[in-house]
Chains A and B, each alone.
Chain A
Amino acid sequence: MSNIIQFENIGLRYGADAEVLSDINFSLATSGFYFLTGASGAGKTSLLRLLYLVQRPTRGVLKLFGEDVVMMHRSRLPGFRRRIGVVFQDFRLVPHLSAFDNVALPLRVSGMNEREIAGPVEEMLEWVGLGGRFGALPASLSGGEQQRVAIARAVIGRPDILVADEPTGNVDPDMAKRLLGLFEALNRLGTTVVIATHDLPLISQIPGAQLMRLDRGRLTDPTGGLRFPPGTSTVAAGEGRPLGKPE
């Protein structure tokens, strides 16, 4: 199985401060399902920012889809971003756009014909339980509803990579399970899923998912509350022990 994401000796610092990520090495396989955990301030969000191309590392090689994006000219990045779906922790919905238009945004950005947009967007909104709220503005939605719109927006374009930062943080357990099912379904269709979360029960719900743990900016072997930690900080699909299936 080929690698869709590759980090080689990645380091990241903001300004003259100490590195927030140091010597990060891992490869993620196409169609893999990965969880990223770590305490607050461990560098999860910084790592995700590198993944969804809002930040370049200060050192190392970062390959997405087999191409080094560190030295890549910025004019090529939008093409890569369209292949990556992102669920932000703070949702980042566009406040003046309705739920429908927020979800339709990635399709419109990619230039899809307006006639082809309505069907998939409505279907997606209905799937996340917002069938009757197409025209609602984000301000009129609850936190959980906003999160579902954010997830619908991230997955509507069937991205090759889905990056999610605490995607189930604001929804009830039933909806969390339903959304996780959506991620799994997407994963089965070939999307590589990377989820940053503190929610340990959530991790155990995805058999076959693998785990990366960040500690003070470094990938470490997971310890403590994780029942089935992978044996190495370098994670590749098929190499680590699947969660939920103890030997």
Chain B
Amino acid sequence: MTEEERASARKGSADTYPAGSPRNRWLPEGRRGPMPWIIAIIIFLTLLAGAAALGLAHALIQMRGELAGGYTIQVIEPNAERRAAQVARITAYLKTERTVRTVAVVPERQLREQIEPWIGTGTEPGELPIPALIDVDLEPGTQPGRIASIERTVTAIAPGARVDAHERYLAPVEQLMRTLMWLAAALVAMMTAVTAAVVMLVARSSYETHRATIDVIHLLGATDLQIARLFQRRIALDVLFGALIGTAAAVSVLWFMGRSLAATGADMAMMISVPWRLTPLLLAIPILSLLLAATTARITVKRALERTL
């Protein structure tokens, strides 16, 4: 037999000889089944949930930053002159208060414009008394005791004046956003658990399918780790394929959603976006899923082997 004939005989024909490194051919490299597609769907949903969680978390932080320390003082005095005097005294006091960053009286014309849809046009100043509003920004980290003291002083100057924290207006929205954020985070956790469960089931099923081959390899002296690596490699390849498809689909959807949100022009919608610096966290999801799948496969097969001698 010539060397060429030997090589040809060793190689065999393409239809009888599976491709790949000989060391990886201990298990048949057949059809992959539905596993990559299941993983693709899971990764797709996990990325969407992860993006929602991150986007909402980012929006919450931004919203808090913008609202923290913001107060509006309403001076409810029907007499215009007395109201103006109270506003002047409150403003003067606030300007001397060291925890106050800015004080701005909202112009009456602006207030009238805002309520115009309800009261209509043509009302003269003084004809319909409206409360005066003073916007106040406090230094960040102002103690609640100090805020209470300011409130007391304000109400001493103008009895019946109301001091409202801006945070209070959006508290229900913030609560809703926080709930949605945790819901999205819980979905990410559940999807991760589903990934591990799917891999475990597939590894067990694959182990049972190839039990006869595994028994032979085991009898020839293969260690548990050698055998577990065969399954780990095979499942990692499936998950990698699924993760690539799922990530590509999720990135496309997120890009489209981002454009749609931006097109609304709404401040709140603009806030719900994943900043670039947080995208590595999202991209970590498929990578971590791959590591999780490989580890789960290895542990599952090793545990199954430990039940044998």
Contact = CB atoms under 8 A, between A and B. Distances in A.
Interface of A: 52-56, 74-75, 77-82, 86, 92-98, 100-101, 104-106, 108-110, 114, 118, 122, 126, 131-137, 140, 153
A109 B216 contact: no
A190 to B, nearest CB: 19
B61 interface: no
Contacts of B1: 126, 131-132
B309 A101 contact: no
B12 A110 contact: no
B22 interface: yes
Best-surrounded residue of A75, A94, A135 (most CB of chain B within 10 A):
A94
Interface in B265-309: 306, 309
Nearest to B29: A96
Interface range on chain B: under 10, 10 to 19, 20 to 34, or 35 or more? Answer: 20 to 34
B23 A134 contact: no
A211 to B, nearest CB: 26
A55 B28 CA distance: 27
B242 to A, nearest CB: 24
A94 B213 contact: yes
Contact of B222 (A74, A78, A95, A136): A78
B212 interface: yes
Best-surrounded residue of A54, A75, A98, A101 (most CB of chain B within 10 A):
A98
Nearest to B5: A132
A49 to B, nearest CB: 10
22 contacts: A74-B306, A77-B309, A78-B221, A81-B221, A94-B26, A94-B216, A94-B217, A101-B22, A105-B216, A106-B220, A108-B23, A109-B217, A109-B220, A110-B221, A114-B23, A132-B1, A134-B6, A134-B9, A134-B10, A135-B8, A135-B9, A137-B16
